[in-house]
Amino acid sequence: MKKMFVWLLLSWLPCTVYAEQQTSYTVRATEIKQQPYSDAATVGMLAEKASVKVVLRQGGWVKVSSGQGDGWVKMLNLRSSSTKQGDSGLQSLFNLGRSGSSGITVATGVRGLSEEDLKNAKPNFEEFAKMKNYAANKNQAEKFARNGKLNAQTLDFIPASGN
């Protein structure tokens, strides 16, 4: 069961979270990127408190449309215009991740999974087969350790508190 949960979690991570178009504003001057990567080409700049329309969310990036052009900005550089008055600090960060009326919270691109999401999940056997290629056997792991000049260390268990 534990392996199935990990597999389900990993199969959901690359999913793109779509959002209804909502108005947000920048909390600081920020670059507009051509693609959702830090090293992507910069296609424009947004000033602090610039108004933008959120088109799409992907990981820690948000595709926006503005008078300065369309492109991608880091999610943490935006605040939703629908943030309630009086919210500050950590609470406003959580409001940032709300994706429309669904109430799903996104924290820098990691989408929370509800019990219903897990019940309705469908396995992706092709992705699962790809994931198996990342497994290493004992010989491969030992070779990796040798090449990295890693040394084995034996550590004592930390006793549980109260023992």
Domains, the chain, ordered by start: 15-119 (2.30.30.40)
Q: Phi first, then psi: what are they for 45, rounded to 5°?
A: -130, 145
**Average of per-residue pLDDT values in the chain:** 75
Q: What is the pLDDT of residues 7-58, one digit of tens each?
A: 554 554 444 344 446 888 899 999 999 998 888 899 999 999 999 999 988 8
Residue 29 is predicted with a pLDDT of 92
Whole-model pTM: value is 0.41
Residue 133 is predicted with a pLDDT of 87
* Burial class for 92, CB neighbours closer than 10 Å (0-12, 13-18, 19+): middle
**Is the pLDDT score of 113 beyond 60?**
yes
**Distances 3 to 8, 9, 112, 126, 141 between C-alpha atoms, Å:** 9, 10, 18, 17, 21
Instruction: Average the pLDDT over 96-121 and give the result.
Output: 60
Lowest mean pLDDT: which of 54-58, 69-73, 112-116, 137-141? 112-116
161 falls in which pLDDT band (50, 70, 90)? Answer: confident
